[in-house]
Structures are given as structure tokens and as C-alpha cells.
Amino acid sequence: MYIIVVGGGKVGYYLTKTLLVEGHEVLLIERDRHKVEVYGDRLGSVVLAGDGAEAAVLSEAGAQRADVVIAVTGEDEDNLVVCQMAKAKFHVPRAIARVNNPKNETLFQRLGIDVTVSQTEHILKLIEQKIPEKSFVHLLNLRHDELTIVEAHVSEGSQVAHKRVSDVQFPVHCVIAAIIRGPDPVMAMPTIEILPGDELIIVTHSHEEEELKQMLMEQ
Amino acid sequence: MNVVVMGCGRVGARVSIILHQHGHQVTVVDTNPEAFRRLGEKFKGDTLIGTGIDEDVLRRANIESADVFIAVTNGDNRNIMASQVARTVFDVKHVVVRIYDPVREDTYRRLGLRTVCPTTTISALIIDLINDVLPDDEEL
């Protein structure tokens, strides 16, 4: 895949480095020329100096053939405009924005950004995950049709415990993507029995999340 | 009419003063309190310290009852984001946004924002003035 990363802070730098190791073609766009030089020495010729919200810079970066644009500057307004320009002007199929103010997550999705990543929100969610009572955790939002990925812990008293997947009446648009049993992911085959202690990874419509939660939390 | 102006630079202050003189209820938002000095003594509208890309700040600026939102800070991206918040979240009827970068201006005009691009407008004015004094065959 060809991935353009905009914003050479710590997130952008390590993201670029990791994506390169994973074998992707990556270009990092950063405004600060000094940083560009330093990163160039470390990463090779995959760093471009410029403002990623400027069409000329995106064009030089080859945005028209990019599969993904990821905007991870520290400013939400810059991340928003980079993603919108990439989509409107260069028809980049997937735009991902880092959201510094968690309140902007829903706004960005309404404004056409495919995926938003909020560090603040993420850390909050990680904390929630570590609190045992939080047995239903919202993991990630996907933009298309407002989809959501949630993780649900199955307790002994849960009404889905000891039932087969096919016997559970989930809300219409819920799909169990995987069952995490101990250290292993298990395919959620219709015949498999849900056990206490399982973690269910479920993809659902956002508007059905509450219904799903009620259902899974019911004892 | 109720008007919220984001950015109290020369343009923001002037627009605010004129609208206030015409009897409109104006709230000016700027991150720098010093900027409000540009409004002068006679301005009796409201001022609010904060950034217009924050929904809570806009709410405190009474955006919910605003008929007009004008984004004229020095940052194109800030103006673009704030006007989209005004339009999408608060349903403000008339949103005007200044964008210096002509390409960005063109893109967002196509996306439905009401844009003003000083770069193209002023360049055109200057070219016009020069064309007056140039011989005909050299017209730009």
C-alpha cells in the first residue's frame, strides 16, 4: 500500500518507521525543515518538507495514487483539512485523522473522515478495560454507516453464557468478529458455545450498540 | 441579526464595528484578549476569549441563536473547521469563511462553503489597476 503520513511529531515519526518495517511504501510530510533533515538521515528519502494541507504538496507527494492518508499533527483543524483535501481533490479512498480533542471525533466523522483516532479517548478506554465492572467496552468507530467495534466480557451469570452462537438473539446488525478465549482468538462459528470468561469482539451499527449492551449485560 | 465573528484582526474588528453600527447583535471571539482593543470604545457588542473550533466556546458565544457566522482568523484551517462546525453542528444559516490559499478556497467553495479569498481578489484588483496604465498589447 502507498501511505502518506502528515505531521512529523512523535506519532508521525514512529508511525512512518513502523509502516516502513511492515513493507509499505510510506511518505512522511512535515513542515519543519530541520526535522525533515533529521528524519531523512534516519529513515531515508521518505520525508517531504511542506504543508500537507496544501494541494501542491499533496500532489508532489503523489496523493492521487495514495491508498491512505493519515493526518497526525497536533492540531485538529490541520488534520481535518488535510483529510478533506486528500479526499475532495485527490480522491484518496481512505483518510484517517488523529483527533486531539475527543469531542471532535463525531464531528470529523460527520464531515467525511473515514476513521478517527483519539489518543485521549483511547487511554480512557484502556483504563476502562482494566476496571473489572466495565464488561462492555467501545473499541473503535468505523465511519461507513456508523459502525462500531465493541468488546464484551461474558460473565458467569450472563444470559449468553453456555449458549451456542446460533442460539443467541443478537440485534439485527451485530456480527461477532471473534471470540477471545484465554490467550487465543477463536472463530465465532454458529455451533460454538460461548463460555464465561470469553471476550466477544462484535461489529455493530452504532445505533444498536446500546441494545447490544443491554442484552449482554443482562444477568 | 445575531452575528458571531471569529478572529478580531483588522478585518474581523472592522466587520464587527460596521455590523454593530447597523444595529446588529455581534459577538467577537478571539484567543488573544489584546485583539479586542481594535474594536474601540464605541463597540458595545460582546467579546469572548477562546477558539472558534471548540464547540463549547461557540456555544458560549450564543452561536445557537446566531444567523450569521464569520470566520476571519489568520489560519485557513481554523476558519475552515470553525465554519463547518457552525454549519454542521449548529445549523447557522449564513456562514462566511476567509481562506487565503486559492486552492483550498476553490475546494471548499465546491464543497458548499461561502468563501472569500483575499489572495485572488486582491491580486485581481492589482492587475486591474496595472492594466489601466499598460499599453493595450501588453494587457495581462
Q: Does residue B105 sit at the A interface (CB-CB below 8 Å)?
A: no
**What band does A147 get if pLDDT is binned at 50, 70 and 90?**
confident
CA torsion through residues A17, A23, A24, A27, sign: positive
**What band does A134 get if pLDDT is binned at 50, 70 and 90?**
low
The H or E element spanning position A17 is helix A10-21
In a domain, A125, yes or no: no
In a domain, A210, yes or no: yes
Q: Which of A88, A107, A110 sits opposite B111 (nearest CB)?
A: A88
Rounded Cα distance, A67 and A64, in Å: 9
Q: Mean pLDDT lowest for which of A85-94, A175-184, B27-36? A: A175-184
Q: Which residue has the higher pLDDT, A23 or A135?
A: A23
CA distance B128 to chain A (A): 27
Q: Which residues on B lie below 8 Å from A88 (Cβ)?
A: 107, 110-111
In a domain, A195, yes or no: yes
Q: Which residues contact B126 (CB under 8 A, 6 or more apart)?
A: none
Same domain, A103 and A199: no
| Residue A209 clears pLDDT 80, i.e. is over it | yes
DSSP A159: T
Total domains, chain A: 2
Under an 8 A CB cutoff, do B84 and A85 touch?
A: no
Written as one letter, the residue type at A203 is V
Question: Phi/psi of residue B104, each to 5°?
Answer: -65, -40
Q: Does residue A59 sit at the B interface (CB-CB below 8 Å)?
A: no
CA distance A35 to chain B (A): 22
Domain boundary residue among A95, A118, A141?
A118
Same domain, A144 and A114: no
A171: its cell numbers: 440485534
Q: Which range of residues forms the domain containing residue A152?
A: 131-217
pLDDT digits (tens, 9 = 90+) for A55-112: 999 999 999 999 999 999 999 999 999 999 999 999 999 999 999 998 899 999 999 9
The domain B2-138 is placed in CATH, from the list 3.40.50.720, 3.40.720.10, 3.30.110.30, 3.30.1490.20, at 3.40.50.720
Same domain, A106 and A8: yes
| Residue A130 clears pLDDT 90, i.e. is over it | no
Rounded Cα distance, A203 and A176, in Å: 6
To test the contact with chain A by mutation, choose from B58, B104, B105, B109 the residue with the greatest count of A C-beta atoms within 10 A, namely B104
CA distance B96 to chain A (A): 17
Q: How many CA atoms lie within 13 A of A74 on its CB side?
A: 5
pLDDT at residue A213, as a whole number: 85
CA distance A72 to chain B (A): 15
Query: How high is the mean pLDDT of chain A?
Result: 89
Q: Does residue B109 sit at the A interface (CB-CB below 8 Å)?
A: no
By the 8 A CB rule, do A19 and A26 touch? yes
DSSP A194: P
- Local structure of A201: helix, strand or coil: strand
Domain boundary residue among A70, A91, A118?
A118
**Region B63-71 average pLDDT:** 97
DSSP B89: I
* Size of the A and B interface in Cβ pairs below 8 Å: 53
By the 8 A CB rule, do B17 and B39 touch? yes
pLDDT at residue B86, as a whole number: 96
pLDDT at residue A219, as a whole number: 62
Domain boundary residue among A118, A146, A180?
A118
